């Protein structure tokens, strides 16, 4: 079968088409907030009615799930929905339970289980959708399923460049004539669609995630669009971002020299249930900030014990054996067993952790409760206290600051192993003796460890464990901060001089979270100096407007706080490296002018490329002139009026190619000597 790829060359997938697809997906699945923000930010016209219906549909399903079918039916009546017929079959099944004496034990017992209810709910949702004349799958989901098929076919093939994608597809697919005739237009549409949606890879993963739990996708995008991949910052995309914890991005970019296509393979290795809507913000922006609730364990209960008076014979018997006498305090009062202490909650710094992301999917922690006094109600000498519950220990990355809800700093876990007790477990309850009224008074007087209260019971119950809300803030602890525009080669630099293995790819915002690497000391300096090692943090790219939250935002800028040296990486092969350099300096200034006073080294990267190499000397010259080497720390009042030129210039400017390993040693030398110059000048303030 002949396919002319030219047919598809002019297909332009308008923004509207994509927007429509996305919106219908959102409405279909009942994401009300996302739908509204999407409509708002795309300025689409959409009748409010759809949203209203959606709301009702969702509430019907929810009500039934919660067991309030009466209200659900009322809403259905209101919408004049007659969907029950459609799911009558399921109810018929249900009626068959009547045939059994004990339905729970019957072969049909599954019908009363959770699974069955889920099944009913799904059928109900589908029935309502059908009734409202809405398709059972949103167009987006249909597309995705089809893409999955395409992907499967593509994955089975050995890709050997050079080839042209259109030829390739037509070759391969013409053997599936029926398939192709039906789907060929769609195939290309999907490719175009994917191309346009890779503007935000994250949003696409989301769709895949919610529909299938394990899947691998190939995103194919034409070269013209790939360098421009950008994270789009709209409320909609913010709500759709998934916590990367459930996803692993396996970037595997293949560039073929002689042809026009590039594949970005992205793998979603395992994914749990889709996150609740409240968490679908951009988690990478929150890897360093989270609010958690911890609850220490309750104390175990004591017991109300019977003190059985032994008759003389028995007493004699136990005495003979030399055991069995009840435990008594030095003054002769009885020691009664108490419930176990509830588990405390401790937060400690663990070197193996590097983000707070996981706390977004699990933000509540509960320590175990103490054990109860295991009494059968009789006081015997064998009685033991309830088991003390173990302390719950929650690991967080080194550099985490723990704050109370009111903002009070409880601890700054700056060293591995630092820890803080954040919630105390409840006291175990004490035990009481049950005895005839006439003896009670005497007994109470004898047992000093019984706290007396109006109502005995309360004493017997363990005390509740403390519950607190905590704010965790991670501050990367590093000596050197690598800054620069996206794609400048910061991660490559880190990988070149340390053992860190950050993601590297030729599109911006590869790095979403800081990577840390350790720079070894310089052996040539001899034993004494060898220890002059430092930690490097590779920060996500800064763009113009970052201080206002653009790109990956200002969250990262605060990680510079604890660094004492900045290494400013500039891609020397771009149109105007000097402008790029100024952009980043400006951003730093807008965030906090003090950062411009911090010592820094400029690394002009990519000098293996001719366009960079040729103008290296003039670039170095120009950058050295921006900035005043003699500038002193100035008083803060006039910082606003100062030009970039008035701030201290770089300690040095070096041209390197971190990729090809050119001039690396020179660069290391500069970084080390700069580190030496500014040792001990880091700012260790905690407030943001």
Ligand X SMILES: Nc1nc2c(ncn2[C@@H]2O[C@H](COP(=O)(O)OP(=O)(O)OP(=O)(O)O)[C@@H](O)[C@H]2O)c(=O)[nH]1
In the complex, the residues that contact ligand X under the rule CB under 6 A are 484, 486-492, 504-506, 508-511, 540-541, 605-606, 608-609, 657-660
| Closer CB to ligand X, 386 or 484, in the complex | 484
Sequence-ordered list of residues with C-beta below 8 angstroms from that of 194, at least 6 positions apart, any chain: 147, 204, 219, 220, 221
The residue range among 93-101, 296-304, 362-370, 489-497 that interacts with Mg ion, by the rule CB under 5 A, is 489-497
CB 231 within 8 A of CB 552: yes
Count of residues engaged in binding Mg ion, rule: CB under 5 A? 3
| Rounded least distance, CB 140 to ligand X, Å | 28
| Closer CB to Mg ion, 211 or 511, in the complex | 511
| Closer CB to ligand X, 33 or 608, in the complex | 608
Among 299, 294, 304, CA closest to 348: 294
CB 52 within 8 A of CB 74: no
Q: Which residues, numbered 491-550, are part of the site for Mg ion (CB under 5 A)?
A: 491, 510-511
The site partner of 606 among ligand X, Mg ion, none (C-beta below 5 to 8 Å per kind) is ligand X
The site partner of 492 among Mg ion, ligand X, none (C-beta below 5 to 8 Å per kind) is ligand X
CA distance 366 to 345: 8
- Other C-beta atoms closer than 10 Å to the C-beta of 572 total 28
| Rounded least distance, CB 192 to ligand X, Å | 25
CB 365 within 8 A of CB 392: yes
| Closer CB to ligand X, 412 or 580, in the complex | 580
The tokens of 173 are what?
Answer: 């697919």
| Rounded least distance, CB 364 to Mg ion, Å | 33
Q: Which residues, numbered 597-616, are part of the site for Mg ion (CB under 5 A)?
A: none
| Rounded least distance, CB 497 to Mg ion, Å | 14
CA distance 597 to 565: 10
| Rounded least distance, CB 500 to Mg ion, Å | 11
CA distance 624 to 684: 29
Radius of gyration of the chain (CA): 34
The site partner of 658 among Mg ion, ligand X, none (C-beta below 5 to 8 Å per kind) is ligand X
Pairing of strands 534-538, 515-519: antiparallel
| Closer CB to Mg ion, 124 or 493, in the complex | 493
The residue range among 85-93, 122-130, 181-189, 484-492 that interacts with Mg ion, by the rule CB under 5 A, is 484-492
| Rounded least distance, CB 656 to ligand X, Å | 7
| Rounded least distance, CB 287 to Mg ion, Å | 15
| Closer CB to Mg ion, 29 or 491, in the complex | 491
CB 245 within 8 A of CB 270: no
The site partner of 488 among Mg ion, ligand X, none (C-beta below 5 to 8 Å per kind) is ligand X
Sequence-ordered list of residues with C-beta below 8 angstroms from that of 392, at least 6 positions apart, any chain: 294, 296, 297, 343, 344, 345, 346, 365, 366, 367, 368
| Rounded least distance, CB 491 to Mg ion, Å | 3
| Closer CB to ligand X, 429 or 540, in the complex | 540
User: Which residue has the CB atom at the shortest distance from ligand X?
Assistant: 541
- Residue 534, SS3 per DSSP: strand
CA distance 324 to 321: 8
| Closer CB to ligand X, 284 or 461, in the complex | 284
Q: How far is CA 185 from CA 20, 219, 548, in A?
A: 19, 17, 42
User: Contact positions toward Mg ion, by CB under 5 A?
Assistant: 491, 510-511
């Amino acid at each position: 079968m002949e396919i002319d790829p030219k047919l598809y060359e002019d297909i332009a997938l308008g923004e509207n088409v994509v927007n429509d697809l996305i919106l219908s997906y959102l409405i279909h699945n009942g994401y009300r907030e996302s739908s509204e923000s999407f409509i708002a930010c795309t300025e689409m016209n959409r009748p409010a009615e759809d949203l209203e219906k959606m709301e009702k549909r969702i509430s019907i399903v929810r009500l039934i799930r919660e067991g309030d079918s009466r209200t659900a039916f009322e809403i259905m009546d209101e919408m004049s929905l007659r969907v029950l017929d459609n799911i009558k079959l399921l109810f018929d099944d249900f009626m068959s339970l009547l045939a059994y004496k004990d339905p729970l034990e019957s072969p049909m017992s599954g019908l009363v289980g959770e699974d069955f209810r889920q099944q009913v709910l799904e059928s109900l949702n589908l029935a309502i959708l059908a009734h409202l004349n809405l398709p059972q799958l949103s167009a987006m989901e249909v597309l995705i399923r089809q893409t999955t098929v395409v992907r499967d076919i593509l994955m089975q093939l050995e890709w050997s460049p050079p080839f042209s994608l259109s030829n390739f597809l037509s070759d391969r697919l013409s053997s599936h004539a029926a398939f192709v005739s039906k789907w060929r237009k769609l195939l290309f549409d999907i490719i175009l669609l994917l191309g346009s949606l890779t503007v935000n890879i994250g949003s696409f993963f989301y769709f895949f995630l919610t529909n299938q739990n394990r899947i691998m996708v190939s995103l194919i995008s034409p070269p013209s669009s790939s360098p421009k991949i950008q994270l789009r910052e709209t409320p909609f995309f913010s709500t759709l971002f998934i916590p990367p914890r459930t996803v692993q991005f396996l970037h595997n970019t293949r560039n073929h020299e002689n042809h026009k296509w590039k594949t970005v393979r992205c793998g979603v290795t395992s994914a749990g249930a889709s996150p609740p809507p409240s968490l679908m913000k951009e988690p990478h922006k929150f890897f360093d900030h989270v609010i958690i609730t911890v609850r220490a364990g309750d104390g175990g209960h004591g017991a109300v014990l019977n003190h059985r008076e032994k008759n003389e014979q028995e007493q004699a018997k136990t005495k003979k054996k030399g055991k069995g006498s009840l435990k008594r305090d030095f003054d002769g009062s009885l020691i009664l067993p108490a419930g176990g202490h509830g588990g405390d909650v401790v937060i400690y710094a663990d070197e193996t952790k590097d983000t707070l992301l996981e706390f977004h999917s699990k933000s509540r922690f509960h320590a175990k409760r103490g054990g109860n006094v295991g009494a059968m109600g009789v006081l015997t000498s064998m009685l033991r206290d309830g088991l003390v519950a173990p302390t719950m220990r929650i690991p967080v990355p080194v550099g985490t600051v723990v704050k109370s809800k009111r903002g009070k700093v409880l601890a700054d876990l700056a060293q591995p192993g630092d820890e803080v007790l954040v919630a105390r477990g409840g006291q175990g309850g004490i035990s009481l003796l049950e005895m005839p009224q006439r003896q009670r008074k005497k007994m109470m007087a004898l047992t000093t460890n019984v706290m007396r209260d109006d109502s005995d019971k309360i004493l017997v119950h363990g005390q509740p464990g403390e519950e607190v809300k905590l704010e965790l803030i991670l501050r990367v602890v590093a000596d050197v901060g690598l800054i620069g525009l996206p794609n400048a080669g910061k991660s490559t630099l880190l990988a070149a001089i340390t053992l860190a293995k950050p993601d590297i790819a030729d599109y911006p915002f590869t790095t979403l979270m800081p990577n840390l690497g350790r720079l070894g000391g310089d052996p040539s300096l001899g034993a004494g100096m060898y220890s002059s090692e430092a930690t490097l943090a590779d920060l996500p790219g800064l763009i113009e407007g970052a201080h206002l939250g653009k790109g990956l935002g200002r969250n990262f800028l605060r990680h510079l706080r604890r660094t004492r040296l900045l290494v400013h990486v500039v891609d020397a092969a771009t149109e105007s490296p000097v402008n790029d350099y100024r952009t980043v300096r400006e951003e730093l200034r807008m965030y906090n002018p003090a950062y411009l006073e911090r010592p820094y080294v400029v690394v002009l990267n990519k000098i293996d490329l001719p366009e960079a190499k040729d103008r290296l000397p003039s670039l170095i010259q120009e950058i050295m002139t921006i900035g005043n080497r003699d500038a002193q720390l100035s008083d803060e009042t006039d910082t606003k009026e100062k030009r970039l030129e008035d701030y201290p210039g770089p300690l040095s400017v070096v041209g390197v190619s971190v990729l090809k390993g050119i001039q690396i040693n020179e660069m290391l030398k500069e970084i080390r000597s700069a580190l030496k110059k500014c040792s001990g000048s880091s700012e260790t303030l905690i407030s943001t």
